Chains A and B, each alone.
Chain A
Amino acid sequence: MRDLTTPPRSRLERVLRSGRFAVTAELDAPDSADPNDVYQNALVLAEVCDAINATDGAGANCHMSSMGCCALLTRAGYEAVLQMGCRDRNRIAIQGDLLGAAAMGVRNVLCLTGDDVSAGDQPEAKRVFDLDSIQLLQVARMMRDRGVLLSGRKLRTPPQFFLGAVENPFAPPFDWRPLRLEKKVKAGAEFIQTQYCFDVPRLQQFMRRVRDLGLHERVYILVGVGPIRSYKAAEFMRDRVPGVWIPDAVMQRMAKTPKLQQAEEGKRICIEIIQQVREIEGVAGIHVMAYRQEEAVAEVIQRAGLLPRRPRSHGDRINQVIQTTRTDSVRCVLSS
């Protein structure tokens, strides 16, 4: 059972506890050193979701770090989810980063293993994988609840995190996935974001097992969805992005659509999936991912009838921050 006696640690947790169907969205970290590139993307997403995930080298490609993005987002008053992968850091770096993130006001952390370096643009890199995602979860939980580092050294102020993990119900071994989810919950996961769902029957099967295990009452499950831009993009995702499963029915639907209407068809498929997913008992929300298509994400969420989202973004504050970063004086805003 969930521990509801402690006050919620983040806005996202508050939304989930209230029982409202939650929406999170993924921000594409820019290939840029300009904070405005982050804010521009965030501006669109913040209107339509409860929290923004900053990816951690998605697909093992190098982008602005999740830490950097989250620092900018929290600074502007957004609810950010820090994605922490095990591919690039050993346990020393991970714990240090967790403390740093907490100090900057990040309250949601998503612990994941991460795509292998071979999937990305720099396959020559050394893979680290010192911890795995479940160990990372436990380490983060121990830092929070016991106020110690892995070595046992005390923290003066422990970080306050709402801890998340990922799961992929669409990859084998299928009958182990729910049990692995249980392991993650035991290790400390309080919310789950899944891989892209294009196969609702398989998700239903997964959720049935999850409910049998009683996990839906212990962890909030947000199902990953996203609009496909074109048939080509679908093919790329299916063949090249690790862990994405697109059934033939969806592929055929995209293939049959004329090229110019494929983007629209992709959105329609996504909305249909959202509506089906909402009906499944134990699903607490959705997590919308779409590479470089913030507008499409916003449109899908709106057309699926999931607006308005509250708490609304701090619209005025963000505009102010964008203005001031342009003139290079963020400090004014922070001190005001």
Chain B
Amino acid sequence: MVTHMKEARRMPGAEWLKNHPRWLERAYLFSKRIIMKAYPVMKRIHPRFANWLMVRSEEVLKGWVFNCQMCGQCILHSTGMTCPMNCPKNLRNGPCGGVRPNGHCEVIPEMPCVWVQAWERSRTMLIFADDIKVIQPPVNRTLQNESAWVTMIEGRDVQTPKGWGWDA
């Protein structure tokens, strides 16, 4: 049985990259530095184009490597460089109880559980290995299809609802 869910899509070469998350960790920090500098400049020149470019390039690049679902609030570095939105249940805090004995997904039997992979990959990471233990807040669904890079620069990706934390 092959499931035609978008979560099950994998691009050639992407698995190898994700299985070597140390490279991706560095790439994350590097691209963060560049984008933090470049985006404000681009925005001053042409805000609409700048935003369009960010969204498109994120769709293509992260879409290829991570099968990014464009949730607009990226937590890849806290989840072993494995996109949690590829979990059909959209879990952000770890696996459900339905993981099959062979480590595959309950919903998509031929796909390895996102969270089994996330855990294994996070163990080989150097910088963000323990970020997987952080409790992730509920997903802000209004950020869907926005660029996570842009929301990160603007700080909107980490804003939580007022009733979420103790010190809100």
Task: Identify the A interface with B (CB < 8 A).
Answer: 86-87, 91, 112-113, 115-116, 118-119, 127, 129-135, 138-139, 142-143, 146, 148-153, 166-168, 171-173, 175-176, 179-180, 182-183, 186-187, 195, 242-243, 245
Which chain A residues border B120 with CB–CB below 8 Å?
173
Q: Tally chain B residues at the interface, Cβ within 8 Å.
A: 35
Instruction: Assess whether B119 is in contact with A173, with CB atoms less than 8 Å apart.
Output: yes
Q: List 16 A-B contacts (CB under 8 A).
A: A91-B138, A113-B89, A127-B88, A130-B90, A130-B139, A132-B93, A133-B93, A138-B135, A150-B164, A152-B162, A173-B115, A180-B93, A183-B93, A242-B97, A243-B98, A243-B106
Instruction: Assess whether A113 is in contact with B106, with CB atoms less than 8 Å apart.
Output: no
State how many angstroms separate the Cβ of B164 from the closest Cβ of chain A: 6
Which chain B residues border A175 with CB–CB below 8 Å?
119
> Is B166 engaged at the interface, CB distance under 8 Å to the other chain?
yes
**The one of A119, A127, A149, A179 that contacts B133, using a Cβ cutoff of 8 Å:** A179
**Residue in chain B with minimal CB distance to A182:** B133
Which chain B residues border A139 with CB–CB below 8 Å?
138, 163-164
> Is B158 engaged at the interface, CB distance under 8 Å to the other chain?
no
Which chain B residues border A127 with CB–CB below 8 Å?
88-89
Instruction: Assess whether A166 is in contact with B97, with CB atoms less than 8 Å apart.
Output: yes
Instruction: Assess whether A242 is in contact with B98, with CB atoms less than 8 Å apart.
Output: yes
State how many angstroms separate the Cβ of B123 from the closest Cβ of chain A: 9
> Is B91 engaged at the interface, CB distance under 8 Å to the other chain?
yes
Scan B66-104; emit 1 where CB is below 8 A from any A CB, else 0: 000000000000000000000011111111111111010
Which chain A residues border B103 with CB–CB below 8 Å?
172-173
Instruction: Assess whether B133 is in contact with A183, with CB atoms less than 8 Å apart.
Output: yes
**Residue in chain A with minimal CB distance to B139:** A130
Which chain B residues border A150 with CB–CB below 8 Å?
138, 161-164
> Is B113 engaged at the interface, CB distance under 8 Å to the other chain?
yes
Instruction: Assess whether B97 is in contact with A134, with CB atoms less than 8 Å apart.
Output: no
Known: A116-B106, A242-B98. A148 touches B119 (CB 8 A): no
Instruction: Assess whether B119 is in contact with A146, with CB atoms less than 8 Å apart.
Output: no
State how many angstroms separate the Cβ of A214 from the closest Cβ of chain B: 15
Instruction: Assess whether B89 is in contact with A172, with CB atoms less than 8 Å apart.
Output: no
Instruction: Assess whether B106 is in contact with A119, with CB atoms less than 8 Å apart.
Output: yes
A118 to B113, CA, bound (A): 16
Instruction: Assess whether A176 is in contact with B94, with CB atoms less than 8 Å apart.
Output: yes
A175 to B136, CA, bound (A): 20
A91 to B115, CA, bound (A): 23
Instruction: Assess whether A186 is in contact with B135, with CB atoms less than 8 Å apart.
Output: yes
State how many angstroms separate the Cβ of A14 from the closest Cβ of chain B: 27
A115 to B106, CA, bound (A): 9
A152 to B160, CA, bound (A): 11
> Is B50 engaged at the interface, CB distance under 8 Å to the other chain?
no
Instruction: Assess whether B88 is in contact with A116, with CB atoms less than 8 Å apart.
Output: yes
**The one of A116, A130, A176 that contacts B119, using a Cβ cutoff of 8 Å:** A176
A134 to B90, CA, bound (A): 12
**The one of B97, B116, B141 that contacts A167, using a Cβ cutoff of 8 Å:** B97
A146 to B99, CA, bound (A): 34
> Is B107 engaged at the interface, CB distance under 8 Å to the other chain?
yes
